[in-house]
Amino acid sequence: MVGTITPVVYGASNCAHWYGLMGIYTLAQTGGAATTGLLFGGAGATMRRLYSWDRPEVLAAIGFLSLIGALSDLKLLPFTVPSPSWQVPQRWKRFPPVAMAACYGFGIGLGVATRIPLASFYVVFATCIAMASIPLGMTLMALLGAMRAVTVAIVARTQPASSNAPTRLNAILAVSPLIAYVDGIALSVIAALCLCQLVRGLFASQ
């Protein structure tokens, strides 16, 4: 997607036009993510009617997923998170720029339909289910979608211009290991916080 709606492919295009397309892409990705939050929040609310869980169980589940995800993102475990192989259709590139940006944004914003690059997505999905609230699930996923789109925009815009599209695209993709490292650190913090809350609750109940 970066190589389609940014100057990576089209060259140094009009700045206002680029920001307009990125704005549409960001809104569409946020909407796609909110749709996923609606589905996961609704699933959680339905499941909780059948099986009621309490706070320690939620903390334990999120903490465990965060720990496994952190080890995966930091390359400390020899496995990668499960990820769909489906990609947004290449024919969407033939759409008018506004429609193309909206389609790509929404499809990628769904999160579960395309490649899942970081383990934090699974932690967020699990949290949406555990909260068992549609509004909270939509809000959490919308924030994730917006952050993901803004990250793409910032990374793409700060890369040096290059007349060679593959060269610039590779420069953008080279930032991915750093993002994964930051994601792993964040998940480590979440796992530690969940563990602290569980221990505190254990001592408080005694």
- Which of 34-48, 111-125, 158-172 is the least confident region? 158-172
C-beta separation of 64 from 130 below 8 A: no
What's the pLDDT score for residue 38?
95
Average pLDDT, the chain: 81
The more confidently predicted of residues 172 and 91 is 91
Can you give the residue range of the structural domain that contains 128? Answer: 2-205
Question: Where residue 8 falls among pLDDT bands split at 50, 70, 90?
Answer: very low
Average pLDDT estimate for 175-192: 86
The more confidently predicted of residues 59 and 36 is 36
The more confidently predicted of residues 77 and 136 is 136
Backbone phi and psi for residue 69, each to the nearest 5 degrees, phi listed first: -65, -40
∠ CA 134-183-72, rounded to 5°: 100
What are the tens digits of pLDDT across the range 39-71? 999 999 999 888 888 878 888 889 999 999 999
DSSP designation for 93: G
Question: Where residue 9 falls among pLDDT bands split at 50, 70, 90?
Answer: very low
What's the pLDDT score for residue 42?
94
Q: In 141-162, which positions are buried (b, 16+ CB within 10 angstroms) versus exposed (e)?
A: bbebbbebbeebbebbeebeee
What's the pLDDT score for residue 180?
83
Nearest CA-CA partner of 65 in 200, 194, 203, 177: 194
Nearest CA-CA partner of 182 in 67, 66, 65, 70: 70
Domain count, the chain: 1
Q: Which two tokens stand for residue 22?
A: 């990125």
Q: Which two tokens stand for residue 146?
A: 């917006």
Judge whether residue 106 has pLDDT over 80.
yes
CB-based burial of residue 32 (10 Å sphere; 0-12 exposed, 13-18 middle, 19+ buried)?
buried
∠ CA 167-12-33, rounded to 5°: 75
What's the pLDDT score for residue 189?
92
Give Cβ neighbours of residue 40 (< 8 Å, ≥ 6 apart): 125, 128, 129, 137, 141
The more confidently predicted of residues 176 and 127 is 127
Nearest CA-CA partner of 3 in 142, 146, 164: 164
